[in-house]
C-alpha cells in the first residue's frame, strides 16, 4: 500500500499546449497527492478553455479540469492559489520565471533545461540519485520554496541503467549512442515530420548535455554541492524517424570481471527510494528486461501513473569486463512529465515541502 498523505496539494502547470505540458495534465487529472488548479500559457493560448486546445498526445484526452488558461506573463504578480509548480517551459522563458517563483515560496519542479546545471538547483532522477537532495536539506527551510530539476530525456535510460553497475561493480569507461524520437524535439518537429516525412538527424548541443548531466547524476552529494563522477564517457546522438521513445545503446568496461548472470541479477533487483516509499508513479521494477525493446502498447497514463515509467532493456551481453546492452524509455513520460511528477512525489514523501 502507498503511504497515506494528509492532503492533496494544489499545483499549477506552466505550459498549456505542448507535448510535455499535456503529459503533465494527463498525469495530474487523477493523481492522489496533487490537484491541478491552474495552467499557464503563452499569449496564443491564454484566455482559452483548456478543453478547447488541440490535444496532441496519442491517447484520448482525459477528463481535464474545467480551467481557463492563465497568462504566464502575469504569474509573478499574482497571489498564487497553489503551492507546487510543474514547468514545461522553453529555456528562455524558464529563465524569467522559475527562480522568481521559488523565491516567492513556491516549490518548482522543472523539466526545462535552463537551470539543470546550476550549483544551487538539485538535478535528480528520483530512483537514481535521491540523495542529491542533501544540499537542499542542509541549507533549506521547509517553509521556503525551492527549484529542483529533472534531467534531459535521453539521460534517464542511460544513467539509470548504469547506476547499479556503477554502484556495485564500478565502471572504467562508458560509450553511449542514442536513437532519439521526434517527440524529443517538440510538437512542431513531430508535425513537420508527419507532413513532409523529413527530420534533422543532428541534435546540436545534445551530446554535451547528456555527458554533463550523466556525470552529475552518478556523482557524489556533498553538504553544499555535487561532485560529478570521474568516469570517461563518450556520447554520440542521432534523431530517428520514430515518434515516441528514446533508445540508447551502451557499451562499457566494468571495473572487475563478472559473470553475466550476476550482472543481470544486480540490474533486475535494483530498487531505490521511490520503490521503498511506494510513490504513486514509481515502477515496481525500474529496469525491466524484455525481448522486444519497444512496447506494442501501454496502459493509459491518465489512469495508471506507472505507465511508461520503467526502463526496458534488451540484448545484455557480458564478456569478462566488457558489457553492452540497449535501453528504451518513453521520453515524454519517464524522460519528462512522469519523471518530474515522481520527483515531486519524492520531495513530498521526504518532508521537503513541509506538512
Looking at residue 168, what is its pLDDT? 93
Distance CA 18, CA 16 (A): 6
Tens of pLDDT along 314-337? Answer: 999 999 999 999 999 999 999 999
* CATH architecture of the domain with range 155-330: 2-Layer Sandwich (3.30)
Cα-based angle 306, 312, 314 (whole degrees, multiple of 5): 165
Mean pLDDT of all residues in 259-282? 96
Q: Tell me if 305 sits within 8 A of 279, measured CB to CB.
A: no
| Alpha carbon distance 268, 263 (integer Å) | 9
- What is the three-class DSSP state of 8? coil
Reduce the DSSP state of residue 22 to 3 states and report it: helix
- The pLDDT tens digits for 86-140 are 999 999 999 999 999 999 999 999 999 999 999 899 999 999 999 999 877 666 5
Residue 143 has pLDDT above 70, yes or no: no
The answer on pLDDT for 141 being more than 90 is no
Q: Does residue 6 register a pLDDT over 70? A: no
Alpha carbon 105 to its chain's center: 23
The arithmetic mean of pLDDT across residues 169-193, rounded, is: 96
- Take residue 23 and report the three cell numbers written for it: 503529459
Q: What is the mean pLDDT of residues 153-161?
A: 97
3-class SS letters over 126-193? CCCCHHHHHHHHHHCCCCCCEEEECCCCCHHHHHHHHHHHHHHCCEEEEEEEEEECHHHHCHHHHHHH
How sure is the predictor about 3, in pLDDT bands with cuts at 50, 70 and 90? low
Contacts of 145 (CB under 8 A, 6+ apart): 101, 102, 103, 104, 105, 106, 107, 108
Cβ atoms of 163 and 130 within 8 Å: the answer is: no
Each residue's pLDDT tens digit, 13-52: 999 999 999 999 999 999 999 999 999 999 999 999 999 9
Binned at pLDDT 50, 70 and 90, residue 354 comes out as confident
| Residue 130: predicted pLDDT | 96
Q: In the predicted model, is pLDDT for residue 142 greater than 90?
A: no
Average pLDDT of the chain to the nearest whole number = 94
Determine the pLDDT at residue 148: 96
- Residue ranges of domains in the chain: 9-152+338-349, 155-330
**Predicted confidence (pLDDT) per residue in 51-76, tens digit:** 999 999 999 999 999 999 999 999 99
Q: Phi first, then psi: what are they for 168, rounded to 5°?
A: -100, -20
Angle at the Cα of 280 from the Cα atoms of 70 and 1, rounded to 5 degrees: 145
> What is residue 223's predicted lDDT score, i.e. its pLDDT?
84
Query: Which sequence positions are flagged as catalytic?
Result: 153, 246
Q: What percent of the chain has pLDDT over 70?
A: 96
Which architecture characterizes domain 9-152+338-349 according to CATH? 3-Layer(aba) Sandwich (3.40)
| Confidence at residue 222, expressed as pLDDT on a 0 to 100 scale | 87
Complete edge-to-edge strand list for the sheet that includes strand 84-87? 70-71, 34-41, 9-14, 84-87, 107-110, 146-149
Can you tell me the mean pLDDT for 271-299?
95
Q: Cα(76)–Cα(197) distance, rounded to whole angstroms?
A: 41
Q: How confident is the model at residue 306 (pLDDT cuts 50, 70, 90)?
A: very high
Cα dihedral 140/166/287/201 (nearest 10)? 90
Residue 53 backbone dihedrals phi, psi, to 5 degrees: -75, 145
Amino acid at each position: 500500500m502507498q503511504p497515506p498523505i494528509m492532503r492533496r496539494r494544489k499545483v499549477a502547470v506552466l505550459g498549456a499546449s505542448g507535448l510535455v505540458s499535456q503529459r503533465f495534465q494527463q498525469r495530474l487529472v487523477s493523481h492522489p497527492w496533487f490537484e491541478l488548479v491552474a495552467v499557464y500559457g503563452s499569449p496564443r493560448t491564454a484566455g482559452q478553455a483548456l478543453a478547447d486546445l488541440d490535444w496532441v498526445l496519442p491517447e484520448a484526452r482525459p477528463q481535464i479540469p474545467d480551467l481557463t488558461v492563465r497568462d504566464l506573463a502575469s504569474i509573478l504578480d499574482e497571489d498564487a492559489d497553489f503551492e507546487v509548480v510543474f514547468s514545461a517551459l522553453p529555456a528562455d522563458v524558464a529563465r524569467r520565471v522559475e527562480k522568481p517563483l521559488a523565491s516567492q515560496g513556491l516549490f518548482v519542479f522543472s523539466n526545462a533545461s535552463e537551470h539543470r546545471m546550476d550549483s544551487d538547483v538539485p538535478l535528480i532522477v528520483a530512483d537514481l540519485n535521491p540523495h542529491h537532495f542533501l544540499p537542499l536539506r542542509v541549507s533549506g527551510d521547509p517553509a521556503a520554496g525551492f527549484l529542483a530539476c529533472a534531467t534531459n530525456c535521453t539521460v534517464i535510460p542511460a544513467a539509470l541503467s548504469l547506476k547499479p553497475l556503477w554502484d556495485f561493480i564500478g565502471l572504467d569507461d562508458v560509450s553511449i549512442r542514442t536513437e532519439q524520437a521526434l517527440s524529443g524535439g517538440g510538437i512542431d518537429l513531430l508535425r513537420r515530420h508527419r507532413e513532409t516525412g523529413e527530420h534533422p538527424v543532428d541534435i546540436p548541443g545534445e551530446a554535451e548535455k547528456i555527458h554533463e548531466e550523466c556525470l552529475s547524476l552518478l556523482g557524489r552529494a556533498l553538504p553544499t554541492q555535487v561532485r560529478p563522477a570521474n568516469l570517461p564517457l563518450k556520447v554520440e546522438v542521432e534523431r530517428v524517424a520514430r515518434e515516441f521513445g528514446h533508445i540508447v545503446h551502451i557499451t562499457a568496461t566494468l571495473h572487475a570481471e563478472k559473470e553475466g548472470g550476476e550482472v543481470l541479477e544486480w540490474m533486475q533487483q535494483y530498487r531505490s527510494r521511490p520503490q521503498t516509499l511506494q510513490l504513486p508513479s514509481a515502477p515496481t521494477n525500474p529496469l525491466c528486461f524484455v525481448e522486444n525493446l519497444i512496447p506494442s502498447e501501454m496502459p493509459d497514463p491518465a489512469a495508471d501513473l506507472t505507465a511508461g515509467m520503467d526502463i526496458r532493456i534488451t540484448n545484455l551481453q557480458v564478456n569478462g569486463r566488457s558489457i553492452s546492452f540497449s535501453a528504451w524509455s518513453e521520453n515524454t513520460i519517464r524522460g519528462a512529465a512522469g519523471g518530474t511528477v515522481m520527483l515531486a512525489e519524492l520531495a513530498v514523501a521526504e518532508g521537503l515541502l513541509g506538512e
